[in-house]
């Protein structure tokens, strides 16, 4: 058993790359899957020496095999990428929400304890519902940019674990705040989970810079602090935004990020960068 040099996952059957010499899990064993620097050098050397170059796949190189259709290629990409899978599920759920009366009410989170105990699935299903088009667009846009980057660094399984954990804890925080204020308003949305993703990335990759409102460049940790302070400011003022869920998901993301750093999983990406 060994740690994958790319994502840090424990590999029961590790694969050693013949081009770069590092060890990888089954997901990242192919040179193309771990952005192999050694493969690039091999191709260049082979080109200079006029040797045969290793090419794992050439479109149309075989007459016996049919190239995959664009639809199957897209669906295959979704299956291998949890970020795209979650985005796809949220869009499908939103379409169903608009098409079937009562669907949203059956799956949303009603923060009263009796309602949660009688419909426990709503703690999870409400994460994939959204209140309107803008709500869906903002959450999925943030998830697209930062979820994909985080998943690439820590691996799909850990990413999905974090997303669901942050979303569930966000709902728990929202329920607790509802009892504290005496206001029991149903909630939907992936915001708590998305905040968890953003927070974890800020902890394990503080070198990333982001554009706040696509204008102001900031370090990702500074952006995270601004978002946290803004939610704290809005928290006692109420309104249609579940700031308590945001803060709860953010807190889980910070904790998860520091746990990853402690285990050294985030260094897998650093090892790749240091090769250049």
Q: Check which CATH number belongs to the domain holding 48 and give it.
A: 4.10.1110
Mark whether 80 and 62 lie in a shared domain.
no
Number of domains present in the structure of the chain: 2
* Domain shared by 157 and 20, yes or no: no
Residues 6 or more apart in contact with residue 54 via CB below 8 angstroms: 39, 42, 43, 46
Q: Let me know if residue 31 belongs to a domain.
A: yes
pLDDT for res 249: 94
Looking at the domain assignment, is residue 270 inside a domain?
no
Does some domain include residue 55? Answer: yes
Whichever domain contains 205, its CATH number is: 1.20.1540.10
State the burial class of residue 62 (Cβ atoms within 10 Å of its Cβ: 0-12, 13-18, 19+).
exposed
* 36, 78: one domain: no
On whether both 174 and 108 belong to a single domain, the answer is yes
> Do 11 and 124 belong to one domain?
no
Whole-model pTM? 0.67
Among residues 18, 47, 67, the one where a domain terminates is 67
Looking at the structure, tell me whether residues 170 and 232 fall in a common domain: yes
Q: Mean pLDDT, 10 residues at a time, over the chain (276 residues)?
A: 76 77 79 72 61 43 46 51 95 96 95 93 96 94 93 93 96 93 91 95 90 78 90 78 90 94 58 42
Q: Which domain holds residue 31?
A: 2-67
Say what the pLDDT of residue 239 is. Answer: 66
Last residue of a domain, one of 49, 67, 85: 67
């Amino acid at each position: 058993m060994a740690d994958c040099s790319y994502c840090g996952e424990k590999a029961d059957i590790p694969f050693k790359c013949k081009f770069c010499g590092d060890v990888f899990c089954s997901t990242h064993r192919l040179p193309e899957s771990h952005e192999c620097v050694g493969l690039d050098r091999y191709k260049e050397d082979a080109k200079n020496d006029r040797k045969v170059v290793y090419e794992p796949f050439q479109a149309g190189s075989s007459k016996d095999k049919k190239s995959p259709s664009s639809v199957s290629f897209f669906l295959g990409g979704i299956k291998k990428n949890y970020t795209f899978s979650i985005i796809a599920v949220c869009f499908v759920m939103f379409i169903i929400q608009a098409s079937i009366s009562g669907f949203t009410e059956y799956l949303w989170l009603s923060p009263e304890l009796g309602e949660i105990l009688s419909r426990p699935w709503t703690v999870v299903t409400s994460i994939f519902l959204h209140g309107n088009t803008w709500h869906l667009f903002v959450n999925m846009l943030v998830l697209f940019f930062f979820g994909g980057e985080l998943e690439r660094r820590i691996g799909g399984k850990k990413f999905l674990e974090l997303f669901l954990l942050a979303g569930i804890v966000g709902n728990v925080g929202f329920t607790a705040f509802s009892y504290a204020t005496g206001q029991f308003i149903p909630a939907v949305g992936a915001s708590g989970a998305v905040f968890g993703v953003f927070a974890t990335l800020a902890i394990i990759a503080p070198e990333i810079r982001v554009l706040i409102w696509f204008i102001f460049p900031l370090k990702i940790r500074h952006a995270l602090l601004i978002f946290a302070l803004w939610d704290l400011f809005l928290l006692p003022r109420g309104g249609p935004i579940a700031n308590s869920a945001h803060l709860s998901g953010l807190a889980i993301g910070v904790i998860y990020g520091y746990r990853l750093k402690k285990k050294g999983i985030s260094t897998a990406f650093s090892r790749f960068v240091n090769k250049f």
